[in-house]
């Protein structure tokens, strides 16, 4: 994985700040890089607007920033965008949900169904389930009704 230079990080920060300014959002950004991943953390009084319903605006913002940043970043570098720790909190909630479902599945032998999740959330849930001994996970359903099932095994 290619190292990401300080000047590249500075350019990504400038582009993120410019995009937020064009959106009319007053925000502070912190851009960091580690192990082939660039993370943009945004702090703003407009946190609710930037996150949107169930993170929809945040995912759109990440998509737009990724389009701009891909010209600046080495190939294979991933981009994460978080607003006010929203994604970090969401990851913790999903991990806890999977842990509880896994425990129930192991104890009862019955599969546990998680609520519908978007693709990113499902990926996090599958990753967490893969780290728990004695359970497996699979997805079923389509679109906004796609769910994860945790089973003993």
Cβ neighbours for 150, distance < 8 A, ≥ 6 positions apart = 98, 101, 102, 105, 111, 112, 114, 129, 135, 136, 137
The predicted pLDDT at position 2 comes to 61
- For the chain, domains (ranges, CATH) are 6-84 (3.30.300.20), 88-152 (3.30.1370.50)
Q: What is the pLDDT of residues 34-62, one digit of tens each?
A: 878 899 999 999 999 999 998 899 999 99
Of 68, 92, 81, 7, which Cα lies nearest the Cα of 37? Answer: 81
Give CA–CA dist 135/125, Å, rounded. 12
Q: What is the mean pLDDT of the chain?
A: 93
Q: How far is CA 120 from the centre of its chain?
A: 6
Give CA–CA dist 2/105, Å, rounded. 41
């Amino acid at each position: 994985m290619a190292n990401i230079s300080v000047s590249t990080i500075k350019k990504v920060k400038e582009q993120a700040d410019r995009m937020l300014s064009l959106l009319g959002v007053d925000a502070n950004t912190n851009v960091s890089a580690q192990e082939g991943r660039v993370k943009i953390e945004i702090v703003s009084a407009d946190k609710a607007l930037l996150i949107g319903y169930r993170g929809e605006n945040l995912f759109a913002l990440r998509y737009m920033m990724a389009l701009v940043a891909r010209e600046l970043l080495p190939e294979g570098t991933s981009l994460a965008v978080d607003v006010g720790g929203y994604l970090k909190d969401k990851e913790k909630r999903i991990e806890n949900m999977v842990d509880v479902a896994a425990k129930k599945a192991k104890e009862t032998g019955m599969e546990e169904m998680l609520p519908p999740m978007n693709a990113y959330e499902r990926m996090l849930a599958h990753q967490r389930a893969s780290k728990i001994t004695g359970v497996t996970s699979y997805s079923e359903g389509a679109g906004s009704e796609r769910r994860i099932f945790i089973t003993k095994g």
